[in-house]
């Protein structure tokens, strides 16, 4: 530190002087104090080695966090894949009546197709309720009524996406609806909006999933779909 004036009396002094020639103030002590301050400031500066070690530690911590995150993401992917495989390996719902039904055509696509029930009048002959097969294949969803005396049972027939003929009592008991329509690969109750899969009448959504159209067996004879009249007469509501 350069000293040009005495800090005690203000007298001009030489830079290299140790005492003020006017008042005797010890300039050397002031120089020493200034030197000590500069030395202490240098000591407080971080050493390059310390900074390097600190940076390595910080970088190592970041790398460790990055590795941990990658491991967690990999585990999530593996778990998700395992859940997907387990879900797809579970046996799908099978309706025994529909499983036993005959296949009458190749696979049917219901994509972008919404169908309303096409009403026809059945024929009853020799204990059989009969409707034309070709009309059901063409319209895909057909409704008809069996009426005998005081007995009145709504029925339907449709072609499943697999090409199977499905015949059923056309009723959703909780809401007493007898009308249905298709939307994509689903059959939907007109009244409550409950949805079932056309493939097997498995419930998808809605309040009445346990009460889809009730499948009944039928057979194919030539161009006729035949349902045993006794099955329909003896049918009882599920609730």
- Residue 131 pLDDT: 98
pLDDT in tens, 168-186: 999 999 999 999 999 999 9
Give the chain's mean pLDDT.
85
Share of the chain above pLDDT 90, in %: 59
% residues pLDDT > 70 (the chain)? 78
Q: Which CATH superfamily is domain 96-233 in?
A: Rieske [2Fe-2S] iron-sulphur domain (2.102.10.10)
- DSSP assigned state of 94: -
> Looking at per-residue confidence, does 41 or 231 come out higher?
231
Half-sphere exposure of 146 (CA within 13 A, CB side): 28
Tell me how far apart the alpha carbons of residues 9 and 59 are, in angstroms, rounded to a whole number: 57
Backbone dihedral region for residue 64 (phi beyond 0: left; psi -120 to 50: alpha; all else: beta)? alpha
Q: Which of 134, 133, 187 is nearest to 160 (CA)?
A: 187
pTM comes to: 0.64
Mark residue 163 as left, alpha or beta (left: phi above 0; alpha: psi -120 to 50; beta: remaining): left
44-70 mean pLDDT: 64
Predicted pLDDT at 1: 47
Paired with 182 in beta bridges are 115, 187
CA distance 178 to 144: 10
């Amino acid at each position: 530190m350069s000293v040009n004036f005495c800090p005690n009396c203000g007298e001009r002094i030489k830079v290299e002087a140790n005492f003020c020639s006017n008042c005797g103030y010890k300039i050397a002590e002031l120089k020493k104090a200034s030197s000590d301050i500069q030395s202490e400031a240098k000591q407080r500066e971080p050493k390059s080695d310390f900074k390097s070690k600190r940076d390595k530690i910080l970088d190592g911590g970041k790398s460790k966090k990055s590795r941990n995150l990658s491991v967690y993401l990999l585990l999530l992917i593996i778990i998700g894949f395992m859940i997907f495989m387990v879900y797809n390996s579970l046996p799908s719902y099978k309706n025994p009546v529909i499983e036993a039904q005959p296949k009458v055509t190749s696979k049917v696509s219901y994509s972008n197709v919404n169908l309303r029930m096409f009403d026809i009048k059945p024929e009853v002959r020799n204990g059989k309720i009969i409707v034309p097969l070709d009309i059901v294949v063409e319209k895909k969803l057909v409704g008809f009524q069996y009426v005998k005396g005081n007995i009145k049972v709504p029925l339907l027939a449709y072609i499943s996406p697999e090409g199977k003929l499905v015949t059923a009592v056309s009723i959703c008991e909780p809401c007493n609806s007898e009308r249905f329509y298709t939307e994509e690969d689903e059959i939907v109750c007109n009244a409550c909006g409950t949805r079932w899969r056309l493939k097997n009448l498995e419930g998808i959504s809605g309040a009445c999933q346990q009460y889809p159209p009730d499948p009944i067996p039928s057979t194919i004879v030539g161009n006729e779909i035949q349902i045993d009249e006794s099955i329909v007469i003896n049918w009882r509501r599920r609730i």
